[in-house]
């Protein structure tokens, strides 16, 4: 439990946050920028009206006191002449930068229960909240009993976020046709991959909905790259580092489009934590490196690929008409087994939405359902 204290006798005045018996000083520049005073922040949007970059570098507190002797409002005065009230709870929550979403939980093929929801049930906000929480944690959802009109996928997608239009249109039809502009539109097996690594930004979330499958094949697969990358990092830290540092090139082209992006296969954040992967062996080229570095890179990528195809990590299921999978395209890889179009028609529709849609809805529902 954290607490805000004024450091007795400090000069200049000093406010600290105390946690687990340890004091951490709150710098005047940090405090001043957090002011919620209406002269500093717009009351409706919470957006700042002043530019904290312009504060004097030697800014310090000239006084700190509890307002009216109560510990629910701090009154702080600063050397640039500004003085105002500060809520200690706001300072405590602001002391940790968080996205206000649950942390991801890596999963393998034995994940239980699987996050399966029925579309009509998602009309209930409590169920929707649970589904969003599962999605953020696990990176995927399976939704059954969805409407299957020819453009239902768009209204389904809009339930979760904003649709990302691309050169394939607001949504795309996945059925077998000769000479089509992507291997996804042929009956061949597709190994685990992320979609469109050649775009900037890469589409965040993909929805694939089954409208028809009269064939005995065309099973869907999902693999959590978080679980696979944890394993690779443990087995071969040097290989993991190479995959996260060496940029590779992804390309897509057809008669009217040429998309190219150069980036590492594994994307890390500033703290070295996994953000996601860009993985599509049918679309990538590695840079020219020395013989030795090429072998090292090859062996790391080969092992990564083996793990992606390892059944211990893979969910393997058949999407029936009206069922869909929605997955974080930068985290959860998808694939399908081959099918024989002469057995009958197989048709899926797909579309992309931005990654932040479900996260925004989750936060809004969290507050609305009184869970703050």
Q: Please name the residues in contact with 165: beta carbons below 8 A apart, sequence gap of 6 or more.
A: none
CB of 30 to ligand AKG, least distance (A): 45
Site residues (CB under 6 A) for ligand AKG, limited to 342-361: 348, 350
CB of 104 to ligand AKG, least distance (A): 22
Rank residues 184 and 266 by Cβ distance to ligand AKG and give the closer one.
184
CB of 108 to ligand AKG, least distance (A): 21
Per CB under 6 A, the list member of 278, 301, 331, 336 interacting with ligand AKG is: 336
Pairwise CA distance, residues 23 & 5, whole Å: 9
Site residues (CB under 6 A) for ligand AKG, limited to 185-204: 190, 195
CB of 173 to ligand AKG, least distance (A): 10
| Pairing mode, strands 116-118 and 140-144 | parallel
- The closest alpha carbon to 357, from 201, 159, 194, 200, belongs to 159
CB count, 10 Å around CB of 221? 23
Q: Please name the residues in contact with 77: beta carbons below 8 A apart, sequence gap of 6 or more.
A: 61, 62, 63, 64, 83
Which helix (H) or strand (E) segment holds residue 128: the answer is: helix 125-138
Pairwise CA distance, residues 204 & 356, whole Å: 8
3-state DSSP assignment of residue 366: helix
Q: Please name the residues in contact with 179: beta carbons below 8 A apart, sequence gap of 6 or more.
A: none
Pairwise CA distance, residues 232 & 197, whole Å: 21
Rank residues 231 and 329 by Cβ distance to ligand AKG and give the closer one.
329
Pairwise CA distance, residues 336 & 111, whole Å: 19
Residue 15 engages ligand AKG in binding (rule: CB under 6 A): no
3-state DSSP assignment of residue 177: coil
Per CB under 6 A, the list member of 4, 142, 184, 232 interacting with ligand AKG is: 184
Rank residues 210 and 266 by Cβ distance to ligand AKG and give the closer one.
210
Rank residues 74 and 174 by Cβ distance to ligand AKG and give the closer one.
174
Rank residues 61 and 348 by Cβ distance to ligand AKG and give the closer one.
348
Site residues (CB under 6 A) for ligand AKG, limited to 218-257: 218, 220
Residue 332 engages ligand AKG in binding (rule: CB under 6 A): no
CB of 354 to ligand AKG, least distance (A): 18
Rank residues 173 and 356 by Cβ distance to ligand AKG and give the closer one.
173
Radius of gyration of the CA atoms of the chain, in A: 26
Per CB under 6 A, the list member of 334, 349, 355, 359 interacting with ligand AKG is: 334
Please give the size of the binding site for ligand AKG, defined by CB under 6 A. 11
Q: Would you say how long the chain is, in residues?
A: 372
In the complex, the residues that contact ligand AKG under the rule CB under 6 A are 174, 184, 190, 195, 208, 218, 220, 334, 336, 348, 350
């Amino acid at each position: 439990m954290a607490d805000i204290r004024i450091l007795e006798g400090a000069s200049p005045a000093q406010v600290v946050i105390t946690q687990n018996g340890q004091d951490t000083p709150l710098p005047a520049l940090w405090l001043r920028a957090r002011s919620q005073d209406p002269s500093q922040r717009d009351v409706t949007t919470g957006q700042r009206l002043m530019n904290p970059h312009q504060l004097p570098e030697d800014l310090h507190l000239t006084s700190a006191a509890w307002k009216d002797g109560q510990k629910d409002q701090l009154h702080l005065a600063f050397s640039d002449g500004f003085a105002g009230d500060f809520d200690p709870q706001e300072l405590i929550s602001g002391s940790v930068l968080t996205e206000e979403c649950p942390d991801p939980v890596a999963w393998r093929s034995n994940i239980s229960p699987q996050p399966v929801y029925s579309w009509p049930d998602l009309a209930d906000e409590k169920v929707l909240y649970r589904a969003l929480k599962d999605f953020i944690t696990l990176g995927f959802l399976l939704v059954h009993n969805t409407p299957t009109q020819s453009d239902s996928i768009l209204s389904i997608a809009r339930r979760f976020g904003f649709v990302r239009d691309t050169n394939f249109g607001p949504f795309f039809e996945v059925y077998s046709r000769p000479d089509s502009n992507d291997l996804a539109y042929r009956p061949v097996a597709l190994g685990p991959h992320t979609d469109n690594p050649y775009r900037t930004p890469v589409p965040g979330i993909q929805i694939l909905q089954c409208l028809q499958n009269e064939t005995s094949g065309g099973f869907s697969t999902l693999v959590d790259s978080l679980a696979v990358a944890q394993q690779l990092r443990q087995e071969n830290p040097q290989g993991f580092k190479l995959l996260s540092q060496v940029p590779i090139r992804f390309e897509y082209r057809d008669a009217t489009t040429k998309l190219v992006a150069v980036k590492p296969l594994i994307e890390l954040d500033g703290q070295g934590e996994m953000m996601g992967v860009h993985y599509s062996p049918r679309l990538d080229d590695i840079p020219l490196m020395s013989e030795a570095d090429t072998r090292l890179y090859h062996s790391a990528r080969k092992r990564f690929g083996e793990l992606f195809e390892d059944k211990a990590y893979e969910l393997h299921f058949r999407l029936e008409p009206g069922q869909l999978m929605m997955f974080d395209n930068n985290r959860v890889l998808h694939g399908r087994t081959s099918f024989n179009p002469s057995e009958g028609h197989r048709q899926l529709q797909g579309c992309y939405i931005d990654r932040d849609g479900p996260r925004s809805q989750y936060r809004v529902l969290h507050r609305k359902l009184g869970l703050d």
